[in-house]
Structure 1
Amino acid sequence: MKINENTLLEGHNAVLVPYNAEHVPRYHEWMKSPELQQLTASEPLTLEQEYDMQKSWREDDDKCTFIILDKQRWADTSVEEEQCMVGDVNIFLTDPTDPSLAELEVMIAEPSHRGKGIGKEVTRMMMSYGVTKLGVKKFEVKIGLDNQVSVAMFKKLHFQEVSVCKVFKEVTLEMMVDEPVRARLLDDTADMKERDYRQTCSNRQELVSQ
């Protein structure tokens, strides 16, 4: 999605940046993992296919993707951005007749960064972005039945379970964004900073220390 191609979102422990071509090799290595393939219901792609996928995520109007960076590592200018990557977060506008409906996906690919609250933080950040920039009024997540950690996280974020599909072995949870939900979401992400991505790349250490 073009809207976020120069957007950086900075939270407490994570930074969200646009998914660029230089991120693809690391992402491709992640997706060789059978565990991640199962958790994300994904098929392994060739590196060339992964580059094509990155381009479509950048160009298509129904996909909004950010790469999740470890903020502490990102603050060290000697560390390349690709080495700060820990996962990704996506919004898919799945219904052409209802652009206010969004499917949300979060992947913490680096095992060392799981269970530290990063998934919850970036989910809130992405939801806040979706509500304020994309006009999202209803979020939906589809999670494999085996992935009880993610199910529990979304329930803590006040998502409600609406259905279980035994065939695809997944559960669907939803959240309607009414005024109380919107107010709570914006309050939870009040400290989130939105920055110009290209400008920030050159002086990230200075910004983090502010």
Structure 2
Amino acid sequence: MNIGILSYKFVNLNHNTLWKWKQLYHNWMKSAELQILTASEPLSLEEEYAMQKSWRNDEDKCTFLILSKETFDTTNDELKSLIGDTNLFLQYEDDQNEKVAECEIMIAEKEYRRKKLGWESMLLMLKYGQCILNLNKFVAKINENNENSIYMFKKMNFNEISRSEIFHEVTLERKVDETWTTWLDSQVDLQIESYK
């Protein structure tokens, strides 16, 4: 299903449309800075394409592409409007009887960083996970040098649960409870629409 999550600043489109943008996405992931921030390895175009295909078909992945609404409104061009993506990697923890998602955000286009687009995109993705996917817990694993992302998730009421010296990574989590859901509702209004 092709769906979009709307905001006054951006539009999130689900991963089914990424086929048009595989070259742009591949070029982003050549960036040493983005590789460090996202804990990614460089891939060939063929490897990137295979990975994107598996993400499209896997039931345990939920990805939305982030488009600048301002650019899209003036150009009506999804490719020119694409600025990043947000992901949920779904799993079920049998011992806790919980549906959990590891969450990620990337604003790849530098001129769109530090404008709260990552903040709002992630809040909407968390709301989507809580309302539509019925998740019980979110986890974020972030490079220890990515202070902006660590700060953002802590501001979203995630709690640090561990640090890995081997992977140079901080793990934060947020259980979905009534207090946090009320806070999340006060931050974003989830609007979902179908698109072609």
1:67 — aligned with what?
65
AA at the equivalent of 1:21: W
Instruction: Report matched runs for 1:115-154 at 5 Å.
Output: 115-154=114-153
Q: CA RMSD, aligned part only?
A: 1.4
Matches within 5 A, 1:130-209: 130-190=129-189, 192-198=190-196
How far, CA to CA, are the matches of 1:161 and 1:99 in structure 2? 19
Secondary structure of the residue aligned to 1:135 is coil
What secondary structure is seen at the aligned counterpart in 2 of 1:93?
strand
Counterparts in 2 of 1:99 and 1:46: CA distance versus 1, 3 Å: farther
2:103 counterpart SS class: strand
**Aligned equivalent of 1:90, options 87, 92, 97:** 87
Confirm or deny: 8 A CA contact 1:93 1:99 kept in the other structure: no
Q: Contact (CA 8 Å) 2:93, 2:99: kept in 1 or not?
A: no
Q: Separation in 2 of the partners of 1:185 and 1:56?
A: 31
Tell me the CA shift for residue 12 of structure 1.
2.2
The CA distance in 2 between the partners of 1:32 and 1:79, in whole Å, is: 27
Q: Deviations over 1:53-104 (max 9, x none)?
A: 111111101100011001101112x342011111100000144645611100
CA shift, 1:187, in A, is 3.0
The whole-number CA distance in structure 1 between the counterparts of 2:67 and 2:174 is 26
In structure 1, what is the Cα distance between the partners aligned to 2:49 and 2:31? 18
* Cα distance in 1 between the residues matched to 2:114 and 2:122: 14
Does the 8 A contact of 2:143 with 2:169 survive in 1? yes
Q: Residue 21 of structure 1: SS of its match in structure 2?
A: helix
- Identify the structure with the greater strand proportion: 2
Question: Contact 1:66/1:88 (CA < 8 Å) preserved in 2?
Answer: yes
What residue number does 1:202 align with? none
Q: Write the distance in 2 (CA, Å) between the matches of 1:106 and 1:53.
A: 17
Q: Which amino acid aligns with 2:131?
A: T
Percentage identity across aligned positions? 43
Q: Separation in 2 of the partners of 1:112 and 1:95?
A: 37
Structure 1 alignment gaps of length 5 or more: 199-210
- Write the distance in 1 (CA, Å) between the matches of 2:156 and 2:71: 27
Could you list the runs of 5+ residues in structure 2 that have no partner in the other structure? none
Out of 10, 13, 17, the position equivalent to 2:13 is 17
Q: Does 1:55 align with 2:53?
A: yes
Structure 2 distance, partners of 1:167, 1:54, is 28
Whether the 8 Å CA contact 2:64–2:85 is kept in 1: the answer is yes
1:35 pairs with one of 20, 33, 36: 33
Distance in 1 (alpha carbons) for counterparts of 2:110 and 2:45? 22
Deviation of the 1:193 alpha carbon:
2.0
Provide TM-score, normalisation by structure 2. Answer: 0.93
Aligned length: 192
For 2:129, what is the secondary structure of its paired residue?
helix
The separation in 1 between residues aligned to 2:184 and 2:106, in whole angstroms, is 20
User: 1: CA distance between counterparts of 2:178 and 2:83?
Assistant: 32
